[in-house]
Amino acid sequence: MKMVIIVRTDIKMGKGKIAAQVAHAAVSLVIDILNSSNSRWKSWLFEWLNEGQPKIVVKVNSIVELNTKIEEAKELGLPISLIEDAGRTQLEPGTVTCGGIGPSEDYLIDKITGDLKLL
């Protein structure tokens, strides 16, 4: 079980900003699952929690690439999150910074993100 966060590298974000955006994506995924009625997602979440909450952070070079990966995850029925910045510091409001997938079984997420490089 794992969660993957996909970060855009085509926009300028400092290390702290990236860390905050990745955290937003992870927290959003968990909250969305807890608020959903999807028992499969909840099962994955609790299994992931028991396995130490593995998270992988990877990178893409464009919003198009990020959106493609998120759509692929949605088509497979996986939990997804898409993070838009509030625009209080480094970015314009509404800038999509990253997206999250999971937690889910490794092989399902690897179908989508297995070709991406680690951040």
119 assigned to some structural domain: no
Residue 58 lies in a domain: yes
Report the pLDDT value the prediction gives residue 90, as an integer from 0 to 100: 81
pLDDT of residue 111: 97
The number of folded domains in the chain is 1
Sheet holding 55-60, edge to edge: 55-60, 2-8, 96-104, 80-84
Q: Is the pLDDT of residue 59 over 90?
A: yes
Partnered with residue 4 across adjacent β-strands are: 56, 101
Residue 37 domain-assigned (yes or no): yes
Across all residues in the chain, what is the average pLDDT?
96
- pTM summary value: 0.96
Identify the residue whose tokens are 């996986």.
78
Give pLDDT tens digits for 62-98: 999 999 999 999 999 999 999 998 878 888 889 999 9
Q: Which domain holds residue 72?
A: 2-113
Question: What is the reported pLDDT for 104?
Answer: 98
DSSP β-ladder status, 80-84 and 2-8:
unpaired
Q: Which of 86, 87, 69, 91 is nearest to 78 (CA)?
A: 69
According to the model, what pLDDT value does residue 89 have? 83
Residue at 56 is within a domain = yes
pLDDT tens for 30-52 read 999 999 999 999 999 999 999 99
Question: Given this model, what pLDDT does residue 87 score?
Answer: 78
- Non-local (6+) Cβ contacts of 74 within 8 A are 80
